[in-house]
Amino acid sequence: MVKLVALLGLVFILFDSCKIKQATIQPIQEMITESVYASGVIKSKSQYQVYSTVNGLIEEVLIGEGDLVKKGDPIIRLTNKTAIFNTELAKIAADYSSVNLNTEKLDQLKINIDLTETKMQQDAALLARQRNLWSQQIGTHNDLEQRELAYKNSVNNYEAAKLRYVELKKQIVFQEKQSKKSLQLSSSIAGDFNIKSETEGRVYNIFKKKGEMVTTQSPVALIGSTNIFTIELQVDEYDITRLKLGQKILVSMDSYKDTIFEAIVDKIIPMMNERTKSFTVEAVFVKQPPALYPNLTCEANIVIQQKDKALLIPRNYLLPGDYVLIQGNEKRKVTTGLKDYQKVEITSGLTVTDVLLKPVNEL
């Protein structure tokens, strides 16, 4: 009998302890923010990877990681003996083909033009004299024909001399232009062996060392802005339609623990990454942290909606089908609104005076 009483007492104690564990709360009014989670990295503005336009062996690395560069500054020099040799040959050809070095040939043709012109004038005078004699019945018709033939030959020779001069001048000018273009091309190819920066900024990484081989397929350096940084976020495809430009973002980083930074959506890249099923979203800081570096990781909540005075309950007090358990074990249907990771807004069905029981499965 004593054992039975003790057992009943234990049952009552356990029943009472369960009743004690079933917590109660009342809805509260406060601000709620609905947001979309995203992860990402920090990137320097205008950050880009430097590639070589030619293959070659690194002769010298001209800058170091952390150095500042300007647009056009050389970063790496590749071995380019063949390119230098070809440039020198192109320069010799350009000098040889210049108009200034071919003036003697043109002067000779000018002299030839003067000589043929003088000969033409002499033959013209002789022809006129022969025609005058023939009009006086002096001389023969054959003499007149010989003078006319000589004059025609002189005219042809004069015209031919002028034509040769014009053609030679055209040829020399063409060769000069052609050789200059060849020199420019050779100089450009030689210049490609000096890998240069395409923008002003800081060198964040050098991927190659002296003596290593460089190809056009692999980057040699990473360069970006020195003091302006952006945020590159990855957003799930299920959430991308809820995003708009200008939305506020709350950003946290391991580098600044317990500090939340504000940013805004600046660009939404309209192409999904098929492998990760996510979209890339770019954001800018409202107030940038004092020190940042490329590829710092971050987490972000992109604010979709926000309400200052919302009637809220914990999400684990909401039963399936949008029901809540009221004191007295009454199940009541409610209408929900905004949600975050911990709370849910109740737009109808509850007041601040209602007392809610925590569902048993949450005990």
What one-character-per-residue DSSP string does 118-164 give? HHHHHHHHHHHHHHHHHHTT-S-HHHHHHHHHHHHHHHHHHHHHHHH
Is 70 exceeded by the pLDDT of residue 330? yes
- Looking at residue 14, its pLDDT comes to 44
The crossing angle, in degrees rounded to 10, of helices 81-96 and 141-191 is 160
User: Considering only CA atoms, which of 149, 125, 296, 317 is closest in space to residue 224?
Assistant: 296
305-318 mean pLDDT: 88
Which residues neighbour 62 within 8 Å (Cβ) at sequence distance 6 or greater? Answer: 74, 75, 76, 77
Q: Over pLDDT 70: what percentage of the chain?
A: 85
- The side-by-side arrangement of strands in the sheet containing 56-61 is 194-196, 74-78, 56-61, 213-214
Grouping H, G, I as helix, E, B as strand and the rest as coil, residue 98 is: coil
Q: How would residue 194 be classed by pLDDT, with cut points 50, 70 and 90?
A: confident
The crossing angle, in degrees rounded to 10, of helices 103-135 and 141-191 is 170
d(CA 322, CA 334) in angstroms, rounded, equals: 6
- Looking at residue 190, its pLDDT comes to 55
Q: How would residue 237 be classed by pLDDT, with cut points 50, 70 and 90?
A: very high
- Looking at residue 328, its pLDDT comes to 82
Tell me 16's DSSP state.
H
Residue 276's Cβ-count burial label (10 Å; 0-12, 13-18, 19+) is exposed
348-357 mean pLDDT: 89
Residue scoring higher pLDDT (93 or 303): 303
Please check whether residue 303 is in contact with residue 312, taking contact to mean a CB–CB distance below 8 angstroms: no
Partnered with residue 253 across adjacent β-strands are 256, 298
d(CA 84, CA 77) in angstroms, rounded, equals: 13
Residue type, position 150, single letter: A
Least confident of 49-58, 180-189, 253-262: 180-189
Q: How would residue 13 be classed by pLDDT, with cut points 50, 70 and 90?
A: very low
User: Considering only CA atoms, which of 169, 201, 46, 2 is closest in space to residue 97?
Assistant: 169
Q: Over pLDDT 90: what percentage of the chain?
A: 36
- Looking at residue 59, its pLDDT comes to 86
Partnered with residue 281 across adjacent β-strands are 233, 268
Can you tell me which residue has the tokens 């954001």?
Answer: 283
For the chain, the distance separating the N- and C-terminal CA atoms, rounded to the nearest angstrom, is 34
Using the CB atoms, write b or e for 328-341: b if 16+ within 10 Å.
eeeeeebeebbbee
d(CA 245, CA 31) in angstroms, rounded, equals: 23
Task: Supply angle C-alpha 273, 275, 281, rounded to 5.
Answer: 30
Residue range 332-347, pLDDT digits in tens: 999 998 887 788 989 8
Is 50 exceeded by the pLDDT of residue 161? yes
Write phi, then psi, for 298 (nearest 5 degrees): -150, 160
Q: How would residue 2 be classed by pLDDT, with cut points 50, 70 and 90?
A: very low
Which residues neighbour 3 within 8 Å (Cβ) at sequence distance 6 or greater? Answer: none
